Structure 1
Amino acid sequence: MSDALIESLTAAVQARPDDLPLRLHLAELLVAAGRGAEAIEHAAQVLTREPGNAAARTLMASALGGGPAPAPAAPSDPAPASAGQAPAAAAPPPATASGSAADPGKPAGGVDWAALEQQFGDAVPPRFARSGDEPEPVAGHADRAFDVERSTVTLADVGGMAEVKKRLEVSFLGPLRNPKLRSLFGKSLRGGLLLYGPPGCGKTFLARAVAGEMGAAFVSLSITDVLNMWVGSSERNLHDLFESARGHAPCVLFLDEIDALGHKRSQLHSSAMRTVVNQLLTELDGVQGGNDGVFVLAATNAPWDVDAALRRPGRLDRTVLVLPPDRPARASIVEFHLRDRPVAGVDLDAVAAATDNFSGADLAHLCETAAEFAMRDSIATGEIRMINQADMLAAAAEIRPSTDAWFSTARNVAMFANQNGEYDDLAAYLKKRKPR
């Protein structure tokens, strides 16, 4: 085979990379010249664009096997050899002790297909496709990966919540910053804190801020990360998540909507969910793996639905009420949500005074509603105007705080289910809370 012809065709392919017949012809010449490694690249390029191209597959097999290019006849139905003509393909090699042609898991005909699939998996489609209803292979537990984040927000980014920050400083941050003092007082770098309060008041944001303040990893766990229809899978998922947190210590493990995962077992009718709660208790105790350096923050809107065993000392033994933002915090939140909008003459303090009992989510909705008012007028008049104080106050008058419904339920709990004093802080707040 003339090298000059091959070089000429190579230059032509480089000039016309999408000319697949030309590329196939070059690959055929390379195989015939014994340059199988170069032919593989061109056959792979064709298969990338046309996975079902039979000629490219035949050339690839021939190049990988190191033999001459086979005749174009289909391997499953070879054309009969005419008189005086050699067969198009040699008979398959006999089975040996090391492998059989009928055994797809072992080398056949001198070609280790499994190794070649792994080597050229980027460019060549797999030899056998998985059927739609066939389950994917399950990797070992150690191979499972979870989203481990590094939070960039700190407590300085959290508006208000002075009492919550003070409690977090005593529980977590102070001992972490003072290892010698921690050792003197025997304070363990482990623990759990339950954040509860009305929805939309920043419990999740606060957990991320704690992780950022500590410079620790952050792993968020929700019910969708745990629950699985197969028996035992939910417990395994829960264990793997805790193992991931232990492996990235110091780490803040955030259990969102803990009442869904740790609901009172006496109220559960499903034995599967009861075993999930039991597994959660085991993981919080760190029986199989030490929880040193793992800070568990849990959040719920309904602490009265959380199993009592989860809240005993050594588990989620400290409880913090996360209330709606106070007046200075509301002004900061409104300013934050107006930062990228056209604003003129907005009195933040007056807006904060008109939004008592609003949650952070309510304040974000307030700014969105005020922007809608200004945009509606701009469309009607054909002249763009800024968001002004009238828009903000009109939105505040229109929106009802979403915390009202939660406090209605919480009031009953504080009055009739506070025998052990665990909701004293809630009862104290309700006494001074002004109804809207």
Structure 2
Amino acid sequence: MAQNLDALRLALQHSPDNAPLLMLFADACLDEGLMDEAEQSFQHVLKNDPANADARLGLARVALLQGKTSQAAVRAEQIISDTPSCAAAYLLLARIHITEGDRSKARAMYDKGIALNRSLADPGIEKDLHGVKPPEEETSGRKRGAMTSSGSFMESVSDDNDDDSHPRGGAAFDLGLADFEKPKLNFSGVGGMEALKEEIRMKIIYPLQHAELFKAYDKKVGGGVLLYGPPGVGKTLISKATAGEIKANFIALGLHQILDMWIGNSEKNMHEVFELARQNAPSILFFDEVDALAADRRDLRQSAGRNLINAFLAEMDGAESNNDGVLILGATNAPWHIDPAFRRPGRFDRTLFVPPPDEAGRAAIIEVMAQKKPIGELDPRALAKKTEGFSGADLKAVFDIATEEVMNEVMRTGKVIPLNTKDLIKAAGRHKATTKAWFESAKNYAMYSNQSGFYDDVLKHLGLMKR
């Protein structure tokens, strides 16, 4: 496969704008896990052909493989709206719904895709959806919405009187948020991150625990905090643990749960989410991949996307409602894509850099992960030394690789074989830290777009600024 990639690279040097060649190269990069190169190739195709459904689908696949399910879902839905005959987009959306545990919606999407192109039948998806019936089709006289080829969301006009006849876009159960709860997880269940935990205590927990002192100074309790860092370092986990520390309700959602194709309903959904958090205060409202929602408005050509962002800002400001006791946490792998308006005072004015764990942190994470595995002799420190730059997700991958190595013997003998330090160190040698690519991008922004000092923590982590 490496030889094929080299041959494709050489061919692209002679024909850099050849769309079929770029698509072949991008697909080969995906097979090899080279996400950045795949993404660049798909973007190159779209630069010359913005409506190319295969390239847009490729970007959605990249997002899904990177764990950005919200972004992947939005991209797939955009393709379906623009090109309803794109069967592969329905199958990708089915995979996304399976990942999120919504097998009923996955069945609906899969059936639509197969109806368009039976040759795309996927035994893996069919196995996951065995016995699942699709949800009842919604019947309404409203017109469909659309996504533009540039990726902006454009909503269509709905029929009159739909508030009564079509009760959409408001109820928590419609958004999949009805079952939120106070997490049992707290900081003791999160390995490492000691410096970050203390920073969270100072910026989040203590103010919420001593609300009366803040009120004495006429200062609201809550507000917004932005967590940024490489993928897989535990931004979602530490957010949930923060809610557990203060015994607050934790409401987590992604952009695709907010978006609705009918005019005004996306903004209504946003309002309902904030109302749900206000009615259940103290609460933490967690937006994963917030950069997809807080995109720079200068990049949005259609008014619908701008209107949703403006609605989000108005809800954060508490212009018409009281946000006291509501903490808004946003997590992002790409803070450089966030509109500066989101970082002004009163919004995401507090930022927390979530770095990969240090050696002591990795050892602590390894100990936590080992508690749910059959483990023999284990030296967490020895493994931590061999996993420099690994995120929590990388360490989980190490355990998964080591498990796969012993499974053949386990299946043959029918006996549980404990993992040991040697097995895990061998597995670590087969896995590369996924945080390195992120720091390559972040370093450029930190070095050349850091007038406000926003990326100082990145520079300190890289040893380019004194602490």
TM-score tier by shorter-chain length is: 0.5 to 0.7
SS of the aligned residue for 1:398 comes to: coil
Using the alignment, how far apart are the partners of 1:382 and 1:260 within structure 2? 47
Q: Would you say 1:163 and 2:195 are equivalent positions? A: yes
Q: Would you say 1:299 and 2:331 are equivalent positions? A: yes
Pick the aligned partner of 1:228 from 257, 260, 280: 260
User: Does the CA-based 8 Å contact 1:257-1:298 persist in structure 2?
Assistant: yes
User: Does the CA-based 8 Å contact 2:182-2:249 persist in structure 1?
Assistant: yes
Q: Would you say 1:406 and 2:411 are equivalent positions? A: no
SS of the aligned residue for 1:150 comes to: coil
Shift of 1:161: 1.9
Using the alignment, how far apart are the partners of 2:193 and 2:137 within structure 1? 51
In structure 2, relative to structure 1, the CA distance for the partners of 1:198 and 1:132 (3 Å cut) is closer
Partner of 1:174: 206
Partner of 1:139: 167
Partner of 1:375: 407
Partner of 2:133: none
TM-score of the superposition, structure 1-length normalised? 0.65
Pick the aligned partner of 2:227 from 195, 203, 220: 195
Letter in 1 for 2:374: P
Using the alignment, how far apart are the partners of 1:423 and 1:338 within structure 2? 34
Question: Which structure would you say has the larger Rg?
Answer: 1
Shift of 1:144: 4.3
User: Does the CA-based 8 Å contact 1:252-1:296 persist in structure 2?
Assistant: yes
SS of the aligned residue for 1:149 comes to: coil
In structure 2, relative to structure 1, the CA distance for the partners of 1:366 and 1:244 (3 Å cut) is same
Using the alignment, how far apart are the partners of 2:413 and 2:198 within structure 1? 51
Letter in 2 for 1:214: I
In structure 2, relative to structure 1, the CA distance for the partners of 1:160 and 1:335 (3 Å cut) is closer
Question: What is the number of equivalent residue pairs in this alignment?
Answer: 303
User: Does the CA-based 8 Å contact 1:189-1:293 persist in structure 2?
Assistant: yes
Q: Would you say 1:267 and 2:299 are equivalent positions? A: yes
In structure 2, the gaps of 5 or more residues are 1-135, 141-161
Pick the aligned partner of 1:204 from 220, 236, 240: 236
Shift of 1:252: 0.6
In structure 2, relative to structure 1, the CA distance for the partners of 1:191 and 1:361 (3 Å cut) is same
Q: Would you say 1:328 and 2:356 are equivalent positions? A: no
User: Does the CA-based 8 Å contact 1:245-1:253 persist in structure 2?
Assistant: yes
Shift of 1:182: 2.5
1:118-170 per-position Cα deviation (integer Å, ceiling 9, x unaligned):
xxxxxxxxxxxxx9562394338775443332111112222222232222222
In structure 2, relative to structure 1, the CA distance for the partners of 1:169 and 1:385 (3 Å cut) is closer
Shift of 1:382: 8.4
Pick the aligned partner of 2:455 from 401, 423, 428: 423
1:312-367 per-position Cα deviation (integer Å, ceiling 9, x unaligned):
00001011000111222212222222223332222111001111111111111101
Using the alignment, how far apart are the partners of 2:416 and 2:286 within structure 1? 44
Letter in 1 for 2:350: R
User: Does the CA-based 8 Å contact 2:374-2:416 persist in structure 1?
Assistant: no
User: Does the CA-based 8 Å contact 1:175-1:187 persist in structure 2?
Assistant: no
Pick the aligned partner of 2:371 from 325, 339, 362: 339
User: Does the CA-based 8 Å contact 1:201-1:325 persist in structure 2?
Assistant: yes
Partner of 1:85: none
Shift of 1:180: 3.8
User: Does the CA-based 8 Å contact 2:239-2:286 persist in structure 1?
Assistant: yes
Using the alignment, how far apart are the partners of 2:170 and 2:413 within structure 1? 63
- The structure that is helix-richer by fraction is 2
Using the alignment, how far apart are the partners of 1:173 and 1:194 within structure 2? 15
Using the alignment, how far apart are the partners of 1:217 and 1:268 within structure 2? 33
Using the alignment, how far apart are the partners of 2:185 and 2:212 within structure 1? 27
User: Does the CA-based 8 Å contact 1:195-1:299 persist in structure 2?
Assistant: yes
295-304 or 424-433: bigger deviation: 424-433
In structure 2, relative to structure 1, the CA distance for the partners of 1:177 and 1:286 (3 Å cut) is same
In structure 2, relative to structure 1, the CA distance for the partners of 1:190 and 1:133 (3 Å cut) is closer
User: Does the CA-based 8 Å contact 2:227-2:332 persist in structure 1?
Assistant: yes
Give the superposed CA RMSD.
2.3
Q: Would you say 1:308 and 2:336 are equivalent positions? A: no
User: Does the CA-based 8 Å contact 1:334-1:367 persist in structure 2?
Assistant: no
Partner of 2:320: 288
Partner of 1:365: 397
User: Does the CA-based 8 Å contact 2:208-2:221 persist in structure 1?
Assistant: yes
384-393 or 244-253: bigger deviation: 384-393
Letter in 2 for 1:417: S
SS of the aligned residue for 1:153 comes to: coil
Partner of 2:215: 183
1:219-273 per-position Cα deviation (integer Å, ceiling 9, x unaligned):
1121121111112111111111011111111111111111001100111233211
Q: Would you say 1:257 and 2:289 are equivalent positions? A: yes
1:14-61 per-position Cα deviation (integer Å, ceiling 9, x unaligned):
xxxxxxxxxxxxxxxxxxxxxxxxxxxxxxxxxxxxxxxxxxxxxxxx
Q: Would you say 1:216 and 2:248 are equivalent positions? A: yes
**Residue pairs, 1:31-50, within 5 angstroms:** none
TM-score of the superposition, structure 2-length normalised? 0.61
Letter in 2 for 1:311: R
Using the alignment, how far apart are the partners of 1:132 and 1:305 within structure 2? 36
Using the alignment, how far apart are the partners of 1:410 and 1:308 within structure 2? 17
Letter in 1 for 2:294: G
In structure 2, relative to structure 1, the CA distance for the partners of 1:381 and 1:156 (3 Å cut) is closer
In structure 2, relative to structure 1, the CA distance for the partners of 1:270 and 1:157 (3 Å cut) is same
